[in-house]
Amino acid sequence: MQIPVFDDVTAAHERIAPWIHRTPVLTSETFDQLSGARLFFKCENFQKAGAFKARGATNAVFGLPRERLGAGVATHSSGNHALSLSYAAGRRGIPCHVVMPHTAPQAKKDAVRGYGGRITECEPSTSAREAAFAELQARTGADFVHPYNDPRVIAGQATCSRELLAQTEGLDAVIAPIGGGGMLSGCCLTLSATAPKVEIFGAEPLQADDAARSLHAGRLIADDAPQTVADGLKVPMKSLTWHFVREHVSDILTVDEQAIIDAMKLVWQRMKIVIEPSCAVPVAAILANPTVFAGRRVGVIITGGNVDLDRLPWLNRED
């Protein structure tokens, strides 16, 4: 599989510009005081389709040659990539087929259908997802746009950190959540090419810590069906994203479920913005590791805001 380079990022940014937002960078005195750092929140929760994944999906869809448009596109995803690909496909007027675990948040399923995506549900494991997708692709012949292990997708995600560098000055570090690693790989692609002195960190749930274990072991380790409130971070890295993480990431910091929930709630309370649990993981990691970030200027990627408002994690609902 071809490894994307920074020229691909530049081309992607030009290609997707009419279809995405240049999202804002917010600051917070509260979080600066709590962390001892100067934090710059790149707010992809304000992105089209509510998540950074609109960047990679749009780059893939609008990069397709005309002769491959008829069958549309297809993917498997727990939510944000599914609805982002549905959004992008709708803008280009082509079909979008999506395999989603039946446990995916209802808000994300509703958004996929709202954008015109066609959902096939499966059991909540990577193996079940991939098996269901193989059948769907064989039936439809659609172009596979992998949620993260795709050079077109990584180049699109890299436009986020490209914007962040243009919007801030003198960053010492950037931290992003990691599941499959598409966003973190995009950060690696941009920063290694244009700001190599900026240190790159990943943040991961302790209950889905295969990326941290992979980095520390020096080999790719995959979990099949981890359980965490951060539903967007349940998938494992693949060969392409592992390449970027292995080569460029300083460390992957893990946090427990309560720390994720507490950080999410605190962002809602103090910054007055809606973020999903996956976005709270890097915030929790910063607060839990003050010696790593204190005194530094840190870019924090807020990856999305697609939340089921009837099932907020701090409500402890039983139904």
* pLDDT tens column, 157-201: 999 999 999 999 999 999 999 999 999 999 999 999 999 999 999
* pLDDT tens column, 42-84: 999 999 999 999 999 999 999 999 988 989 999 998 788 999 9
Closest CA to 286 of 25, 24, 22, 28: 28
Q: What pLDDT score was predicted for residue 105?
A: 78
pTM of the entire structure? 0.93
Q: Are strands 143-144 and 251-255 parallel, antiparallel or unpaired?
A: unpaired
Q: What pLDDT score was predicted for residue 316?
A: 65
* Residue 30, both tokens: 């509260």
Per-residue exposure over 118-132, b if at least 16 CB sit within 10 Å of its own CB, e if not: bbeebebebebbeeb
* pLDDT tens column, 206-244: 999 999 999 999 999 988 778 999 988 988 999 999 999
pLDDT above 90 covers a percentage of the chain that reads 85
Cα separation, 299 vs 296, in Å, equals 10
What order do you get walking across the sheet with 143-144 strand by strand? 118-122, 96-101, 73-76, 143-144
* pLDDT tens column, 84-127: 999 999 999 999 999 998 988 788 888 899 999 999 999 988 78
Domains in the chain with CATH codes = 6-51+150-315 (3.40.50.1100), 54-144 (3.40.50.1100)
3-state secondary structure the chain: CCCCCHHHHHHHHHHHHHHCCCCCEECCHHHHHHHCCEEEEEEHHHCHHHECHHHHHHHHHHCCCHHHCCCCEEEECCCHHHHHHHHHHHHHCCCEEEEEECCCCHHHHHHHHHCCCEEEEECCCHHHHHHHHHHHHHHHCCEECCCCCCHHHHHHHHHHHHHHHHHCCCCCEEEEECCCCHHHHHHHHHHHHHCCCCEEEEEEEHHHCHHHHHHHHCCCCCCCCCCCCCHHHCCCCCHHHHHHHHHHCCEEEEECHHHHHHHHHHHHHHHCCCCCHHHHHHHHHHHHCHHHHCCCEEEEEECECCCCHHHCHHHCCCC
Contacts of 282 (CB under 8 A, 6+ apart): 175, 176, 177, 201, 203, 300, 301
